[in-house]
Amino acid sequence: MTWKDRIKAKGLHVLVLKTIMFLLILLLLDFVIGNILANLYEKQKSGEIFRTTYSIDSTKADILIFGSSRANHHYIPSIFNKRMNLSCYNTGRDGETIFYNYSILKSVLKRYTPKMVILDISREEFRFAQISYDRLSALIPYYKKHIEIRPTVEIRSPYEKYKLVSRIYPYNSLIFTILMGATDFDEKRKPKNDQDGYVPLDEIFTSQLAIDTIPGTNKLDLNKINTFKSFIEDCEKSKVKLYIVISPLLIKFICEDPSVNMALNMAHTYKLPVFSFVNNPVFFNNKLFADQTHLNNYGAKLLTNLVIDSITSNQ
């Protein structure tokens, strides 16, 4: 071997060692920072993260509310408790879909069996939308500890299980939220904004009733439909009474919606009660809404009482 070959070999050896050292440092940083974020995540005392963790790991309420923001802002647990003499927790989370709801249900049923479940669904609930898969990021921090939610998280992408080798990855889009929750800022807001999972909206919408004449032609997502079916069947197997509710909007719809029709047909197959408040003239009043699609606290009180009336008359 010539001296030039020796220099090249030595240079290659140094490069390999530097690469290995760099990778080891990255792995160490991933481990250390990931563990710090995980620890801060688990210590959240209020806000969305706290409510999700509480729903998965802690609640033992008799009645559970499931759904998206329209569940989170439309159903008041204290009224269920007062009128039905049953404890109640609202697991709804803004922007989430049946994927999230089913994961929460599976985690709950692994711990205990609630007496009643209310699932709030929306028009276009089962349409295909990539954002529905992106928002499964809310469940990623629970992936390692909760085997039951892994199949749902893994539909987010074919590479999800490999990305989750990283300890930082589950929290990389939540760092600001985690840091805020580590302070007392969210805790100070908790009495106003979190009532057994229910988050009231106090605004009053200034616009009047809108009319929607557009035919519902959105492509339905088979994954969502199958997940909805699994949600129903898991409740049935666990002997949990399930009620499906379609919340009102400040919109009068002229055309039917494919998602709603699919839900009604499946509910009929399983002999489930469905309470729809869409196009109910009682809610054609802007003073009951915070915006066009969400009830304010006054509207939530009205809807909660009407849902309870419907449940008690159905029993």
Query: How many whole angstroms separate alpha carbon 103 and alpha carbon 112?
Result: 15
Note the pTM of the prediction, 2 decimals. Answer: 0.87
What is the per-residue pLDDT across 94-136, written as a single tens digit (0 to 9) for each? 999 999 999 999 999 999 999 999 999 998 899 999 999 999 9
Q: Which residues pair with 295 in a beta bridge?
A: 289
pLDDT of residue 112: 97
What is the per-residue pLDDT across 54-91, written as a single tens digit (0 to 9) for each? 999 999 999 999 999 999 999 999 999 999 999 999 99
Q: What ranges do the domains of the chain cover?
A: 61-129+185-314
Q: Which residue type occupies 64?
A: L
The backbone torsions φ and ψ at residue 295, rounded to the nearest 5 degrees and listed phi first, read: -70, 150
Q: Return the top range by mean pLDDT from 24-28, 188-192, 245-249.
A: 245-249
Tokens of 309: 């009336």
Query: How many whole angstroms separate alpha carbon 80 and alpha carbon 198?
Result: 12
Q: Is the pLDDT of residue 179 over 70?
A: no
Class of domain 61-129+185-314: alpha beta
pLDDT of residue 147: 94
pLDDT of residue 191: 43
Across the chain, what does the average pLDDT equal?
A: 87
What is the per-residue pLDDT across 218-259, written as a single tens digit (0 to 9) for each? 789 999 999 999 999 999 999 999 999 999 999 999 988 999
